[in-house]
Amino acid sequence: MTQLTQRPSPLGMTPKVSVVVPTYNRAHLIPEALESIWAQTYRDLEVIVVDDGSTDDTREILRPWWPRLRYIYQPNQGCAAARNRGISLARGTYVAFLDSDDRWLPDKLAQQVAWLEAHSKAGLVYSRLWRYVLGRDAEREICPRELPATFLDVLRGSGFIPTSTVMVRRRCLEAVGLFDVSLPVAEDWDLWLRIARRYPIAALPAVLAEHREHATNITKDLAKVYEGYWRFYAKAVRLYATAAGAETARFRDRAISFRYLLGTTYLKRGQMREAVRQIAGALQARWSIGTYFARQRSWVTTLACLLKPYGALTVSLLGALGSLVIPSWRSR
């Protein structure tokens, strides 16, 4: 692991804000992210870039900026692990996150520091952002429309909290823990829930960041997406069943449905044993999970959806058995 330390903050003082920037193969975009940090009207900060095993020229692109930031290289472990590494090195009272393909507007840190300084009990503040496809910023839209303000809002998914707009007290992270590295997606949602359950949170209605969508930031690994949401919803049911109330059944169904989709993804890939494990697990949790996907409520559609998972399980079982029998037959 490579670590290159930055120059001490002015007068040797501890910075008020630690900015954590995880990156992976974003050499063409991270310079703009960093420039948006140094364009902030609020200057009492440190910048920690965690390179999560990039194979492009990220390191060389960042070399001229080494005196202005702390650069850490680690083997690829995922975004959650990269953010956690940055948090572990943070010295500031507040921690702000910026994905390396996003950008901040100049007043972002100033507004959020002022708000947290005025609300000492709050744990987290965030804002809206502009979202657009890279190169098509004229078609940008404001997100999120709804702004979660309570634990139940966050739990129900009433809007969402964009990670690149978040500023959180470091002591809150010390109290609730860091990003869950076992979640390949929704690891940010999981952390915001843990914070919102113990501390007040707030949204500034202003647009303070930009999220740029491009080919390499769209998750293409469906197995990773389905596994992540299965584990997230299962964890939410386990931790928040009492608080969720009527939402618990919906969350449980979502967890089971994502586990089933994970199984069918393995089936399409020919990974039969894993397909059996996940599809069977979903059916064991809810034998009628197929009806969850019925868009029309006619009895024909409902019956077809009900039976489909059993057909998928049968095909997976036959494939798994075939993978055992054929090598045994060939060895004779």
Which residues make beta-bridge pairs with 141? 131
Q: Are 61 and 27 in contact (CB under 8 A)?
A: yes
Reported as a single tens digit per residue, the pLDDT across 319-328 is 999 876 545 4
Q: What pLDDT does 245 receive?
A: 81
Enumerate residue ranges in the chain where pLDDT < 50. Answer: 1-8, 11, 326, 328-331
Q: What is the pLDDT of residue 5?
A: 39
Which residue ranges make up each domain of the chain? 2-217, 222-330
Residue 233 to residue 157: CA distance in whole angstroms = 12
Maximal CA-CA distance, the chain: 77
| End-to-end Cα separation, the chain, in angstroms | 49
Cis peptide before 31 (omega within 30 of 0): no
Per the DSSP assignment, residues forming a β-bridge with 2 are: 73
Contact predicate 121/200, CB 8 Å: yes
CA distance 280 to 294: 20
Q: What is the CATH number of domain 2-217?
A: 3.90.550.10
Closest CA to 86 of 103, 69, 102, 111: 69
What's this model's pTM, rounded to 2 decimal places? 0.89
